[in-house]
Chains A and B, each alone.
Chain A
């Protein structure tokens, strides 16, 4: 090994010296046509990178970038060591089998999980048939998940004749059992997570029911864990990629990625490295867009006890006059006195005492004035004029619609029911298309409509 390394270094040095002489003789750049020469140059670059001396030629540290913005507050002060969940270990063990399957395509999106096309209610009949068949095929493996999916499909009217209606409403135990089933590597998928999350949002609130509140906490924690596991696998696949030495980007095909077969082969050659990377990546991986989108910025009132935020199964006390962010996988628990929260744009929300609340519980607690304000914003977006091609600056109506869109985007947990109602009542673009995008941002689905609370209706002609 030592001899090999020495010889490599001498060869590289000889090559560099030769090239330098050639450059001096010719006086202008030369094309390197030989594959051996190109490979030697790549090895030389690698030596520079891995010895930390790439700055000698690159000018600055190569490949560095800024960290991403994260929703980091509030967090436990002393985070404990987080072991990798058994689900991720199991997934990694099954990785070669998953990738060797002829059923999976090349890209990450196609490869992980079953790839169910459940994201959009406007999906074509062929897509619906594909999804329904795929779901029905899972029945024997995952009866509880299958039951939830059947109900979901019936909402869209997909393959209604082939799908039996559930014989009783979904209960907490069924949801939990479905989540346990979705830990299976072949079922671990964001579409399944969003499906279960939507199901949970639509179920009867667990007010005054400690046991139900406990189950809700477990379900949200499990959803977050599964979302993190998925993103961990995606990141580990990227970080542990094995590239042939002659590999180059596909400059002309940036709009695509590596060919499916090539991608599959690359992954299959990287399995040990992927496992190693996943173990170190999991503790620092968050739940992706669950933690960056569909958030609500809140502040507790100056008076009162504050509130408990339940995140990842941890109970985080929020004191009086303290700002915090409420995500879709978070829960709020009030004390015996109840609490008042302040929103950015829609005034205050009075939460009842001794209650565990989900995102979907908040809209009904908004004041009438706040509901009217949401309706106004939804209307501004819905009725926005089309973007002109030759008009500068934008019209006041367009500017107002843009502001309203951002305002709604920042209050999606509160505004979602009215957005959904507007889409249902007025499906025609362009305004409704923006609302569909927003709703998709929140519930990862633009088609399912959640009923708006009784007050603050959109009104005739809306």
Chain B
């Protein structure tokens, strides 16, 4: 690889930010790298940290035909970005196998977020059409996980699903733990189970106060917990592949100690989310005001090209900040400072997390 590759690799974040703004100025858009589809709001669990109000299915969810036409065919037009199928619980969709096979037939790479409880029902589909990545939620040790998710046996099902997916040939199985105040200090106890689970990596997410989680703001991790968890993740990376996920934001020059690739927020820039009812969102936010339009009414490729200007332009300080998680900053609960910058003896360690919603700043947009 030549000099350009080396230069790009070293200043990736800066180049990418400049490129995003430049393309917006010139009126051009690159196809997305990934499109997440909240395939249903239906879920058989009621986790307090859920970023939506998953439970019963929503009225107006995409039918099989709509999914194929409005999403899969459009992804082909967009140079086949990865389809990340999620929920609710996506494996509860009656047409799950059919949609996955249709995705595979179109040569669209796909990934899945699931609680794992129903993976065994679709084993043949996973074998025939293996996803590039499967993320299974794991909230804590067995007792905690089952209690938190409100269903006995859900922990064992998640662990079992990881093994099944590895056996089915899935290249990358990820154990995903959403950190909250109740489980932040259980991670040391969860480590042996993750090590034994055959998961390729362990992702630490952060609870975000949207959907049902907004009703449980007391569960937001404390400043001390955020700091402690980040330090733990850094140490754990010497024995297994642990990653701090997007919600944590950038650790700046220390990013290399928490992630294998530097953080830049891709919302509306390289990725987007199709909601259960077809709204095209920049990320998993449930705020309808952020929708770029509905894929049932306008082709996804057109919405992608014309939407999300505030995320791409650089004029809207909130939405165009590539170094933090917009989903958290819009609610005033950015954790970067707490996790990566707070000194052990800082008075902030005794602070409680923000419990008041910060009004969303209306940006300049372009």
Q: Residues of A with Cβ closer than 8 Å to B? A: 16, 19-20, 22-23, 26, 28-33, 37-38, 41-46, 48-50, 54, 57-59, 62-63, 65-69, 105-110, 112-113, 115-120, 122-124, 126-127, 189-191, 230-231, 234-235, 237-245, 247-259, 263, 266, 269-270, 273, 288-289, 292-293, 295, 297, 344, 386-394, 402-403, 405-406, 409-410, 429-430, 433-434, 436-437, 440-441, 444, 446
B278 at the interface (CB under 8 A from A): no
B19, B182, B228, B355: which has the most chain A beta carbons within 10 Å? Answer: B19
Contacts of B32 in A (CB 8 A): 251
| A-B residue pairs in contact (CB < 8 Å), sample of 16 | A22-B27, A33-B31, A58-B314, A62-B15, A68-B251, A107-B201, A107-B237, A109-B237, A119-B236, A127-B196, A255-B243, A269-B5, A270-B9, A289-B231, A405-B185, A430-B144
Contact stretch, chosen from B56-64, B65-73, B336-344: B336-344
Given known pairs A16-B26, A120-B188, A252-B271, the reply for A42 and B239 (CB within 8 Å) is no
| Distance between Cα atoms of A260 and B64 in the complex (Å) | 35
B171 at the interface (CB under 8 A from A): yes
**Closest-CB distance, B248 to chain A (whole angstroms):** 9
- B133 touching A248, Cβ below 8 Å: no
The 9 closest A-B pairs by CB, nearest first: A255-B203, A257-B260, A65-B252, A23-B27, A238-B256, A63-B14, A45-B19, A243-B9, A251-B271
B79 at the interface (CB under 8 A from A): yes
Chain A residue nearest to B191 (CB atoms) is A120
Contacts of B9 in A (CB 8 A): 240-243, 247, 266, 270
Given known pairs A43-B4, A112-B238, A288-B234, the reply for A54 and B18 (CB within 8 Å) is yes
- B17 touching A258, Cβ below 8 Å: no
Given known pairs A65-B323, A127-B192, the reply for A26 and B27 (CB within 8 Å) is yes
Contact string against A for B residues 212-253, beta-carbon threshold 8 Å, 1 for contact and 0 otherwise: 000011110010100010011011111111110110001111
- A110 touching B135, Cβ below 8 Å: no
**Closest-CB distance, B350 to chain A (whole angstroms):** 6
Given known pairs A19-B28, A109-B240, the reply for A409 and B228 (CB within 8 Å) is yes
Given known pairs A29-B27, A41-B28, A63-B13, the reply for A253 and B192 (CB within 8 Å) is no
Chain B residue nearest to A272 (CB atoms) is B6
Sample of 15 further A-B pairs with CB below 8 A, known A289-B234, A295-B344, A394-B352: A31-B31, A31-B305, A32-B30, A42-B19, A57-B21, A122-B189, A234-B257, A242-B5, A243-B12, A251-B270, A252-B36, A252-B82, A257-B261, A259-B171, A390-B218
| Distance between Cα atoms of A69 and B133 in the complex (Å) | 35
- B174 touching A255, Cβ below 8 Å: yes
| Distance between Cα atoms of A31 and B23 in the complex (Å) | 10
Contacts of A249 in B (CB 8 A): 16, 33, 261, 264, 266, 270
Contacts of B255 in A (CB 8 A): 238
**Closest-CB distance, A406 to chain B (whole angstroms):** 5
Contacts of B228 in A (CB 8 A): 409, 437, 441
- A402 touching B222, Cβ below 8 Å: yes
Contact string against A for B residues 52-92, beta-carbon threshold 8 Å, 1 for contact and 0 otherwise: 00000000000000000000000000110010100000000
- A69 touching B111, Cβ below 8 Å: no
**Closest-CB distance, B331 to chain A (whole angstroms):** 16
B163 at the interface (CB under 8 A from A): no
Q: Residues of B with Cβ closer than 8 Å to A? A: 1, 4-19, 21-34, 36, 48, 78-79, 82, 84, 111, 133, 135, 141, 143-144, 171-172, 174, 176, 181-182, 185-189, 191-192, 195-196, 200-201, 203-205, 216-219, 222, 224, 228, 231-232, 234-243, 245-246, 250-257, 259-264, 266, 270-271, 301, 304-306, 314-315, 323, 340-345, 349-350, 352, 355
**Closest-CB distance, B63 to chain A (whole angstroms):** 24
**Closest-CB distance, B183 to chain A (whole angstroms):** 9
Contacts of A266 in B (CB 8 A): 9
| Distance between Cα atoms of A57 and B312 in the complex (Å) | 11
**Closest-CB distance, A154 to chain B (whole angstroms):** 19
Chain A residue nearest to B218 (CB atoms) is A392
**Closest-CB distance, A25 to chain B (whole angstroms):** 10
- B25 touching A405, Cβ below 8 Å: no
A190, A253, A386, A441: which has the most chain B beta carbons within 10 Å? Answer: A253
| Distance between Cα atoms of A105 and B260 in the complex (Å) | 13
Contacts of B141 in A (CB 8 A): 429
| Distance between Cα atoms of A46 and B34 in the complex (Å) | 23
| Distance between Cα atoms of A434 and B232 in the complex (Å) | 12
Q: Contact check: which of B29, B176, B186, B253 meets A255 at CB < 8 Å?
A: B176
- B240 touching A244, Cβ below 8 Å: no
Contacts of B26 in A (CB 8 A): 16, 19-20, 23, 41
- A237 touching B256, Cβ below 8 Å: yes
- A409 touching B256, Cβ below 8 Å: no
| Distance between Cα atoms of A31 and B1 in the complex (Å) | 28
Contacts of A386 in B (CB 8 A): 182
Chain A residue nearest to B193 (CB atoms) is A124
- A391 touching B305, Cβ below 8 Å: no
| Distance between Cα atoms of A66 and B293 in the complex (Å) | 37
Chain B residue nearest to A241 (CB atoms) is B9
- B133 touching A410, Cβ below 8 Å: no
- A388 touching B260, Cβ below 8 Å: no
- A255 touching B135, Cβ below 8 Å: yes
**Closest-CB distance, A50 to chain B (whole angstroms):** 6
**Closest-CB distance, A295 to chain B (whole angstroms):** 6
**Closest-CB distance, B174 to chain A (whole angstroms):** 5
| Distance between Cα atoms of A23 and B25 in the complex (Å) | 9
| Distance between Cα atoms of A137 and B181 in the complex (Å) | 42
**Closest-CB distance, A123 to chain B (whole angstroms):** 5
- A406 touching B350, Cβ below 8 Å: yes
| Distance between Cα atoms of A124 and B196 in the complex (Å) | 7
| Distance between Cα atoms of A364 and B55 in the complex (Å) | 55
| Distance between Cα atoms of A250 and B14 in the complex (Å) | 17
| Distance between Cα atoms of A19 and B189 in the complex (Å) | 55
B12, B133, B201, B239: which has the most chain A beta carbons within 10 Å? Answer: B239
Contacts of A107 in B (CB 8 A): 201, 237, 241, 260
| Distance between Cα atoms of A112 and B256 in the complex (Å) | 14
| Distance between Cα atoms of A41 and B306 in the complex (Å) | 19
- B33 touching A250, Cβ below 8 Å: yes
- B34 touching A252, Cβ below 8 Å: yes
Given known pairs A117-B239, A255-B245, A441-B231, the reply for A387 and B345 (CB within 8 Å) is no
